[in-house]
Structure 1
Amino acid sequence: MPAQQPAVSVIMPVLNEERHLRDSVRHILGQEYAGEMEVVIALGPSTDRTDEIAAELVRETASNERARVHTVPNPTGRTPAALNAAIKASRHPIVVRVDGHGMLSPNYIATAVRLLEETGAQNVGGIMHAEGENAWEDAVAAAMTSRIGVGNAAFHTGGEAGPAETVYLGVFRREALEQQGGYNEEFIRAQDWELNFRIREAGGLIWFSPELKVQYRPRPSVRALAKQYKDYGRWRHVVARYHSGSINLRYLAPPTAVCAIAAGLVAGVAVTPWAFAVPVGYLAAITVGSVPAGKGLSLKARAQIPVALATMHMCWGFGFLTSPRALAAKVIASRRPSVRRDPSEV
């Protein structure tokens, strides 16, 4: 007789997710997993129907003994605060993080639990598989899963299973979360990287596997994508200042491109038209690079991939360059030392 599968808690930080929340929860409740589940939704101050939908989900699962949904408030609206509130309100030994616009593959939880057992990892995660629902979102998804868009990031483009610095979302052993005191709430973005850094520093293993796949819904407009990537760049510079060994050439490419293009435009106007070769060369490069990325998409979607690429690159780079030192200083002041397990508890 096979061993009983451990109970899992799925935690979801949500804010203005009326478009995808019900579908996301449906993918959780439909998991091919025999163990008990609970879904804890941390509700930020949404201005759409998110709270109403969440309340409906609570009522609809109230009589389901195997998988119930319940909610906790997150008045700050900040993701790390939501995650900590949901962790505190949950109770099972395995904690699965899912976002309100993420769709788990059918065997995601079962595979993650197996990998935790096989590898001894404290956290496992896989691929952020971007998929759109219209031409613009298809273009963004193509950009987010291409090397010209995100470099060699394994959780975007795939790769071999193995130890990793960080992973997308994550399936944790509760003991690892409690040992480290949860997420650092000063990290409005990049909180996953910071927590995984502490887990690794304490001797824990973070494991990436392409077997784990989560469908991700891209931002629905250029403006929303621009804000997302500006925030990513801003907080990645905070991480670089927080931990000097975490930066590499992939992260420096967007700010370098922003500086080069700005210099080319200024020099083209003030010095010589030949300097326009820099921005023109960049546009040519992303246009050519978008061709393989757009394979199989509609003509409308393929035409928008260069726009998505430029938005991602330029806004990430701008956010990185303008990230204030004061923000990094505030975050560094909140630094939590990693906590190693007492050997007597092993």
Structure 2
Amino acid sequence: MAPNGAPHVGGLPFGGGRYVKVSLISTVKDAGAHVGEFLASVRTQTRPPDEVVIVDGGSTDGTWERLRAEPGIHALREPGAGIGRGRNVAIRAAAHDLIAVTDADCLLEPDWLEHLVEPVERGTADVAAGFYRPLATSLFEVVSAAVSVPERDELDRGWMPSSRSVAFRREVFDAAGGYPEWLEVGEDMYFNHRLRESGARFELAPDAVAWWRVRPTLAATWRQYARYSEGDALAGMYPHRHALRFGVYAGAAFALATRRRSLLTAAALGGAAYAWKPLRRTWTRLAVAPERRPAAVAMVAPMMAFVDAAKMWGYARGLLVLRGTRGRVAPAEDRA
């Protein structure tokens, strides 16, 4: 233990002030359109990372060449690697014991890293749960993001960070077994659960903001949420949440089919409560363009139904895959 009671990791004292070195890691594949902006946002950090490690999963659009030419970047090439494996490779290649993770299609606020690592540096947390906001320009993107991306005042102590914006000690990464390489999507949430199960201390870092690019089309949005939910099924995550979603929509369909006033009233009230947060987010995020609010509000309910349909489709597909593999998608040591 350090003199002040803070634990040591790899000889570096946590909790003794800002002298713990941090490795920033990310993965990338075919991000030529955005990687330059991402790297620029890394270079302008008020608390620069001591090391940047980026694993390329086999880009063919010039991304790899751009990374290799970028000064100060430790670029590794791992063709065919998924996000989980890419992150594990980057972390194991990193030199330091404080790891910050983001995605290479994000834009980082200049003080992102400074705020993100603060809870871990001062020794009050093993995992710092940063925040992310939608980088949305079209009305479609604003409404799509409002369905799933919370506002800061909605966060609570149980907030599970996306690996677009998270920092942790190497010790807890090792204790959790790293990111699951067998899981193509949802690997960060699975890793979060493993961190909590290992006893890691989480702390919110809501001022650590990464801007996340929202999918720009219906087709891309469908694929995104269907894949997320398929990953949930394969990893055994959130079964009650998915069962509730199926049940709610089945109940709404029954109410419409029977046309019983009491059931229709209950369905309408339940739907209004369900839509309240997305409606509020939409209204808030269009404060700079109030003339767009009526159209956006009208889009919220259809967008919610569309996203939920994608989630149900993906979850059902994942369950079918599980059934076909007799539940052996995950390695034995990763199965609950």
TM-score norm. by structure 2 comes to 0.76
For structure 2, which runs of at least 5 residues remain unmatched after alignment? 1-15
Structure 1 distance, partners of 2:223, 2:269, is: 22
Question: 1:149 aligns to what?
Answer: none
Aligned with 1:294: secondary structure?
A: helix
Question: 2:11 aligns to what?
Answer: none
Question: 1:15 aligns to what?
Answer: 29
Is 2:70 the partner of 1:56?
no
CA deviations on 1:185-220 (whole Å, 9 max, x unpaired) are: 112222223223333323221222322222111111
Structure 2 distance, partners of 1:72, 1:255, is: 42
For structure 1, which runs of at least 5 residues remain unmatched after alignment? 62-67, 147-154, 339-346
Match of 1:166 among 129, 136, 160: 160
Structure 1 distance, partners of 2:314, 2:109, is: 32
Structure 2 distance, partners of 1:274, 1:320, is: 30
Match of 1:86 among 56, 73, 90: 90
Structure 1 distance, partners of 2:333, 2:152, is: 28
Q: Which moved more, 1:129-138 or 1:191-200?
A: 191-200
Q: Which moved more, 1:76-85 or 1:172-181?
A: 172-181
Question: 2:46 aligns to what?
Answer: 32
CA deviations on 1:109-168 (whole Å, 9 max, x unpaired) are: 12222211335322111222112032221222222235xxxxxxxx876424x4x47322
Task: Report the AA paired with residue 188 of structure 2.
Answer: D
Structure 1 distance, partners of 2:85, 2:191, is: 13
Aligned with 2:182: secondary structure?
A: coil
Is 2:52 the partner of 1:42?
no
Structure 1 residue 226, shift from structure 2 partner: 0.7
Aligned with 2:208: secondary structure?
A: strand
Equivalent runs, 1:1-346 vs 2, <5 Å: 5-33=19-47, 36-46=49-59, 49=61, 52-61=62-71, 68-145=72-149, 158-160=154-156, 162=157, 164=158, 166-169=160-163, 170-239=166-235, 241=236, 247-248=239-240, 250-260=241-251, 268=257, 281=268, 285=272, 291-295=279-283, 296=287, 297=289, 298=292, 301-324=296-319, 325-326=322-323, 329-336=327-334
TM-score norm. by structure 1 comes to 0.75
CA deviations on 1:242-272 (whole Å, 9 max, x unpaired) are: 6xxx555x5444332443456567xx4xxx5
Contact 1:290 1:302 in 2 (8 A): no
Contact 2:35 2:105 in 1 (8 A): yes
Instruction: Indicate how the Cα distance of structure 1 residues 165 and 335 shifts in structure 2: closer, same or farther if over 3 A, else same.
Output: farther
Structure 1 distance, partners of 2:191, 2:97, is: 18
Contact 2:17 2:122 in 1 (8 A): no
Instruction: Indicate how the Cα distance of structure 1 residues 77 and 333 shifts in structure 2: closer, same or farther if over 3 A, else same.
Output: closer
CA deviations on 1:158-186 (whole Å, 9 max, x unpaired) are: 424x4x47322120112222344421211
Contact 2:67 2:75 in 1 (8 A): no
Structure 1 residue 303, shift from structure 2 partner: 4.5
Contact 2:130 2:206 in 1 (8 A): yes
Instruction: Indicate how the Cα distance of structure 1 residues 288 and 90 shifts in structure 2: closer, same or farther if over 3 A, else same.
Output: closer
Structure 1 distance, partners of 2:215, 2:208, is: 22
Contact 2:182 2:330 in 1 (8 A): no
Structure 2 distance, partners of 1:254, 1:21, is: 36
Question: Percent identical across equivalent pairs?
Answer: 21
Alignment: residue pair count: 307
